[in-house]
Each structure stands twice: as C-alpha cells, then as structure tokens.
Structure 1
Amino acid sequence: MILSILVLWTLGSFAQGVGPNQQFFPVHDFRNDWLVYDQAYRSYVPFIDEQHAQVNAVSFFLDIESNRRYHLLVTTQQDGYLFIDAALKRKLTANEWLVLNLDSLYRVYRKPELFLTLYGSPGVEDKMVFIGHRKSAAQKNIVVSETRLSILPRRLSVYPEFFTLCLLFIVAINAYLFNVHHRAYLRFFNLADLLDITVRDELFLVNRPLGRTNLLFLLNLSFITAYLYLIVQSKNIDIFLSRALLLRGQGLLDLTVTFFELSGLAFLLLLAKYLFIVTIGGLYRLEEIVNLHFFKAIQSSLVFFTAGAVCVATLAANTPATGTWPSLWLIVPFVGFYVIRLALLYVVIANKAVIKNLYLFSYLCIVELIPLTIGVRFAL
C-alpha cells in the first residue's frame, strides 16, 4: 500500500513536468539505466547501490535516433561534469538544469546512439536525467560541438552476421552468373576490355542492353550497391542526411528486408539511367552510341563496385564492428572513379562516332555529371 502511494505520488509529480520551471513532460527517466566501469570485468556493468555507492563516474547510453524532437534534461545537486563519447563537454552547476536538444546532438555526431558520463559526487541519488518533451519554446537550447576522441564501451552488433550472410549471397549470385553466363561474365569483369576503346559492333551485350543477360548483371550490380550502402552506413558514414533510407531497424530481418528494398531501388535507377541516356541521345542524334555508353557505364560500375565490396569486406573483417571510418575513405575513391569513368566514356564515344567535341562534352555533362551532382546534393 505504501509503495503504491509512493509510485502514484512520483507519477503525479512527473505529470506536472520536469526540467527548468517544469517546462517539459517526462518521456524517459534514466534512473534505472546507470552504468559504471568494473575493473575486474574490464567492462561497463549496471549500477548497484550496495556496490557502487562511492563511484564518482556513472554513465548511460542515449538513443537519439529514436527520440528526435525531444530534449535531454540533466541536473545534479553538486557541481560535476558531463562527458559525451568520453569527451568533456559541459560543467554541471549544482541545482541547475542542463537542456540539450537531441536533434542538435544528432546533427553534430550523426550517430544513432551516444555514451554519456556524469562525473562528480559519488552515487546517483543526487543526479536526475530525463528525456523530455517541451511544453513551451521559451527555453534556449544548448548545441554541443563535435570531438574526434572517443573511448566507448563495446556494444554487440547484428551487422557482422548480416554482412556475412549478405556477402555469401552475392558470392552465390556471381557463381551462378559465372557458370550460366560465362561469356558475358568474362566480358563484364575484364579490365582490359573495359579500357579498350574499340568495341565491336556485333557484341551481343551492347546490341541488347535490356536483354535477359544484361538485366541479370544489372541486378547483380544492384545487390552489390545495396551491400556497400549498408556497410558504409554501419560505419557512421551517412550517405543520406536522414541516415535511414528505407532503414526499418537493426535486427537481422529488418536489415535483410532493407537490403532487398535498396537493391530494387538501385535496379530501377539503373533502368531509369538507360531511358535517360536514350532520351538525351535522341536529342543529340547520337542513337548509335547510346547502347555502347550504357554498356561501358555498367561494365565500369561492376568492376569498381565489386572491387570496392571486396576491399570493404576485408577492411570490416579486420576492424572493430562498432568502429567508425573517416568519410574520406568513401569520398576519394568515389570521386576518383567517376572522373576516370567520364574520361573513359569521352574517349570511347569520340573513337566510335564522328561528333563535335562541344556536343560530346555537353551530352556527357547532361547524362553523367548533372545526375551525379544532384545525387550528391541530396545525399551528402
């Protein structure tokens, strides 16, 4: 009976609001989420009053991706310090509320989860941390800055299992194509053929751009593209600002569904690219080089993205599963590939057809550079 009264009293006080001047409705209370570092286990363990009452540093994980548009509210009865991802961010003044906008944290760190530590007085009795929903817009938000130094506890991830299964699936697809469409496979994955600027007119892959064989290799490229997208996202390199393009969750089933949805989207975009090339080629009266252009674009993409998938999978297998990668690891190879491909297409088309350089340059800018620029604009 007494316990019920205390619970009702606590809920009633929270219903009135939390934070400075009770301006926020409580969404989540972190009183049961505290963690402390255990030297014996060399890991973070749940806070236990009897064992950790004298510990000065207590921590918790903050899921900011699931709590967008909310605020983090922190207060302590004694002065202390707030660390985010093991980096000092704010000094906590006794009996004053610190209000952090979770959207601002997300824009700064671009990560779905942060690790926060409060350092100061022993124990947790004098510490209160909430996720709250603002009642009014009077409170000024505090935006924190990014740091490059992070020492975080190890977290289990489902990504390694998913990427292993995904890689096996892609290997199986390539094995099928190699055995059933052996001649076409050797053409698509032949670096010497890719760099050859004299393509024969009778090449069946060029003359039938939307034939069954070419569509199978387009589907293979779509699988590889979706694989690279997901593995790059798992390393906190956000290709899209939302960080959640068709991303349902981080479970194995969710990632599998997302993988096939992304593959389907990539396949449709590749088909749309061919239709776009056909349309612009007709306007420039370059119908004879449209199929050759599309073949070379797909051939170069297959070689580059397949090699990229092998390198990324090797690198991921030799780095921590929860580690992050510098964004330059993506930007430099990506930009370099498209610059080299543009130059190759220019030489191949110029060697194939008699066309003024100005017209050819304009054609390539429209069908290659402009879609790439628009894609980068909405992605990065």
Structure 2
Amino acid sequence: MGQVSPAQTGRGAGNTRNGIGPGGRYYPVHSIRDDWQVYDEANKAYIPFIVEQHSGIPSVSAFIDLESNRNYKLLVWSQEDCYVFLDAALKQKLRAGNWLVMSIDSLYRVYRKPQLFLTLYGPPGIENKQAFIAYPKSATQKTVVLSDDNLSVLPRPHMVYDDFFGLALIFLLGTHAFLFTFFRRPFLSFFSLHDLFVLRLRDEQFVINKQLNRATIAFTLNLSFVIGFLVMFVQGLDIDIFASRTLMLQGSQLPSLIIDFFLVSGIAFLLMMGKYVALQAIGSLYRLESITNLHYFKILQASSIFFPTIGIILTALVFNMHDPASIGAYLQIPFVIFYVGRLVLLYVVFTNAASVKSLYLISYLCIVELVPLLIGVRFAL
C-alpha cells in the first residue's frame, strides 16, 4: 500500500535538506517528530512523548491535520518493521526501511474529518521512526488512493457532560426553584429589596421569633451553595481567596471539582451557623436577645440578594473580557461596599427595633460585623 523499497528510497530518512521520501522527491512541509504522543494510564489521556520517560513504549501516535494540509502527502518511514494504524484501524505492515506515501486529499475524502489519528506500533522510541507532511517535487510519484474498506474499531465518543460551571449553575437554579416551591412566602421576603429596607418588621415575621426554623436553615444552606460557586468561579480565574487552594484537591476533573464545591459550601454553611451562635452569645452578653434573630435574618436577607447578583455580574464580565484575571484587582471593591452598606442598614434597623443605648449597639455591631470585615479585607485575595 504505497510502500517503496529500500532500493527506491534514494536518500536516507533523516536527510531533509535536499528532499525526503522515495528518491528525495518531496519537500518537507511539517515534521511530526515533535507531535508524537503516548497514552498515559494514570491520566486516561494522550500526553506528549518524552524521551526520558517513554523511550520503552512501542506505540506512538500523532494527530494529522488533514483540513489544513490539502494537496500535500503524508510520508511515514520506519527503520524496523512496524504496523501503521489510522484512527485505531490497522492499515498495513510497514517494512523496515520503506516509505509509505499517502495522499492527504484521499484521506480527507475517505475519513471526512479535519484530523486523523496516526499510530505506529513497533520497536520502542521515535528515533527509528519518521513522519512528514510533504509536497511532491513532481507528479511522477504515484500515491495510494484509499478506499474505506477496512473495519475500524474506534472507542465510543465521550458523551459525558463535564462542564462543572454549567452543572453548578443548573444545580443552583434547582435549589432556588426548590425554595420557591416549598418556601414561597420566605422566598418572596428573602429576595425582596423592599422588605430588605423595611425598618420595622411585623412581630409575626416568620424568622424573627423562631430560632433556626426549617426556612432559615434551608436559605442558609442555599446561600452557602452560592458562596461555594463564587469561590470556585474566582478560583478558576487563578485568584486565590483566603489561600483556598489548600482546601481543594488540586484536580481539574469533574469529580474533583464537585467534591471541592461541596467542601467549600459546607465550610461556608458551618461559618454562617457559627455566626448565628456568636450572635446569640454576644446578644446575651449585651442583653440584646430581642434583636439577635432580627440581626441574623437581615444578614441572610442581604446576602441572599447580593451574592447571586455579584455572581451574575462576574459571569457576564468573564465571558466578555479579553483578560478575565484582571477582575481580581477590583474584586474587593463591591464586597467592601456591600458589607459597609449592610452595617449601616443594620444599625438603622436596630435603632428602630429596640430601645437600647447607642453605646451598646455600637459595641455589638463592632464585634459582630466590623471585626470580620476588617479581617476579610486584610487576608482575602
């Protein structure tokens, strides 16, 4: 199949200055030498051939760009006997010292795909193998026109959806839909800007007089998922938040990303529940038990509106910027504005909700809100 005997080769396989192939009748356009790959069992993928690591592997492969090399020829040579595979289908045995010449136009018509997977199986290493994309000096060399009469055994196409951020967005859409369906009245209150700025809430408000009811825990958990997604999203821009890389599995595969997502979300949930416990403890210390539940409700309400909004804005910016990593220089600004604005809102709400001394309120808010804000600005990003 297009083999040329050693007597016909004329020039050695390694001589490319004056021509390559049978009789040196081809000009080299591209050498496949730096394109060889080997299959790595650990990563379940093809990786570049490294002489120091893969010199003993008998099978080497390369992707041949058919679409960009029309009108050229594919030349393959081996110093020893080897087998030539095209798209995992055995084409023929290549005799030692012979050239195999194939028309790329013919390959493109037969396989009808922009790339072809070439594999050479034989003696280990690549020093004794040559592959070129070349242009004939003349039209006298007869090349082989392939026919699709070989039985190809190819792996089934990988159809698993592995876009983590797409799956995470669908998951968050599902959690919000769940909350809207089963906690409609709290949902409408949590995600209402009007209710957020209402200074005097009704005594029968669902969350104020019920500590850690199902609605509060459900919306806290949902907020932790949103925060987990934002951390993973920003991490994907190579921006390390609170050295969060040390918490993650350092993997880029979908299972590792899912585990990291739930790990970060779980930490966020525990921190928010811990903050509720701290509110109760500090409220008891300053005898402000009547406003601790209101405090937590307002924190949860403001955060439930802010974090999804900033997530939507970040997503839109990343997919419309040439350098998304530059967002990191300005990422602190909206968070500082949010936390300072929330602090002002809480102070105004508390002064209308309870008759207490201003000094107690200032002390209470400084401990609960200002200290975490200052620590976050200092060590985040």
TM score, norm. by length of structure 2: 0.56
- CA displacement at 1:260 relative to structure 2: 0.5
Matched residue, 1:337: 338
CA contact (8 A) 1:237 1:326 kept: no
Q: Give the conservation status (yes or no) of the 8 Å contact 1:209–1:295.
A: no
Counterpart residue number, 2:240:
238
Q: Number of residue pairs matched?
A: 232
Q: Residue 19 of structure 1 corresponds to which residue in structure 2?
A: none
2:317 touches 2:324 (CA, 8 Å); kept in 1?
A: no
**Alpha-carbon separation, structure 2, partners of 1:326 and 1:32:** 41
Contact 2:332 2:377 survives alignment (8 Å): no
> Deviations along 1:179-207, whole A, 9 cap, x unmatched?
11111100000001001111111101222
Structure 2: distance between partners of 1:32 and 1:349: 69
* Contact 1:188–1:302, Cα closer than 8 Å, also in 2: yes
Q: Match of 1:315?
A: 317
Aligned to 2:288: 286
Quote how far apart the aligned CAs of 1:30 are: 8.2
Amino acid at match of 1:226: G
Q: Corresponding residue for 2:83?
A: none
Query: 1:360 and 1:30, CA in 2 relative to 1: closer, same or farther beyond 3 A?
Result: farther
Matched residue SS, 2:327? coil
Alpha-carbon distance in structure 1 between the residues aligned to 2:219 and 2:201: 19
- Give the counterpart letter for 1:350 in structure 2: T
What is the rounded CA distance, in whole Å, between the counterparts of 2:305 and 2:357 in structure 1?
30
SS at match of 2:245: coil
Residue 196 in structure 1 maps to residue 198 in structure 2: yes
Q: Which residue of 2 aligns with 1:178?
A: 180
Q: Offset at 1:242?
A: 5.8
Distance 1:273 1:204 in 2: 20
Partner SS, residue 198 of structure 1: coil
Say if 1:228 and 1:309, in contact at 8 Å, map to a contact too.
yes
228, 231, 234: which is aligned to 1:229? 231
Structure 2 residue 359 is the aligned partner of structure 1 residue 362: no
- Check conservation: 1:224, 1:305, Cα contact below 8 A: yes
Shift of 1:268: 0.6
Following the alignment from structure 1 to structure 2, what is the Cα–Cα distance between the partners of residues 336 and 259?
Answer: 26
- Matched letter for residue 271 of structure 2: L
Aligned-partner residue type, residue 312 of structure 1: L
Q: Which amino acid aligns with 1:205?
A: V
2: distance between equivalents of 1:264 and 1:352? 32
User: Equivalent of 2:299, from 277, 297, 300?
Assistant: 297
Contact kept in structure 1, 2:318 and 2:324, CA below 8 Å: no
| Change in 2 beyond 3 A, CA 1:263/1:30 | same
**Separation of aligned partners in 2, 1:243 and 1:264:** 16
Unaligned runs of 5+ in 2: 1-48, 54-66, 69-160
Q: Which runs of 5+ in 1 are unaligned?
A: 1-28, 34-40, 43-158
Aligned Cα root-mean-square deviation (Å): 2.9
Return the offset for 1:32: 8.0
Output the CA distance in 1 between the equivalents of 2:214 and 2:244: 35
Change (3 A) 1:236 1:160: farther
Q: 2-side partners of 1:365 and 1:375: how far apart?
A: 14
The separation in 2 between residues aligned to 1:378 and 1:331, in whole angstroms, is 11
Aligned to 2:276: 274
Native 8 Å contact 2:162 2:254 kept in 1? no
Please list the CA deviations of residues 33-72 of structure 1 after superposition, one character each: whole Å capped at 9, or x if unmatched. Answer: 9xxxxxxx99xxxxxxxxxxxxxxxxxxxxxxxxxxxxxx
Considering only CA atoms, is the larger Rg found in Structure 1 or Structure 2?
Answer: 2
CA distance in 2, matches of 1:186, 1:296: 14
- Distance in 2 (CA, whole Å) between partners of 1:318 and 1:160 is 22
Give the match for residue 254 of structure 2.
Answer: 252
Shift of 1:357: 1.6
1:328 counterpart letter in structure 2 = A
1:324 aligned partner: 325
**Structure 1 residues 297 and 207 mapped into 2: Cα distance closer, same or farther (>3 Å)?**
same
Aligned partner of residue 206 in structure 1, secondary structure: coil
CA offset at residue 236 of structure 1? 2.0
- CA distance in structure 2 between the partners assigned to 1:173 and 1:205 by the alignment: 20
Q: Could you tell me which amino acid in structure 2 is paired with residue 337 of structure 1?
A: F
SS in 1 for 2:309: helix
d(CA) in 1 for partners of 2:312, 2:305 = 11
Compared CA separation, residues 196 and 217, structure 1 to 2 (3 A): same
Query: Normalization by structure 1: what TM-score?
Result: 0.56
Distance in 2 separating the partners of 1:310 and 1:160:
21
Q: Is the partner of 1:199 in helix, strand or coil?
A: coil
Distance 1:342 1:169 in 2: 31
Is 1:206–2:218 an aligned residue pair? no
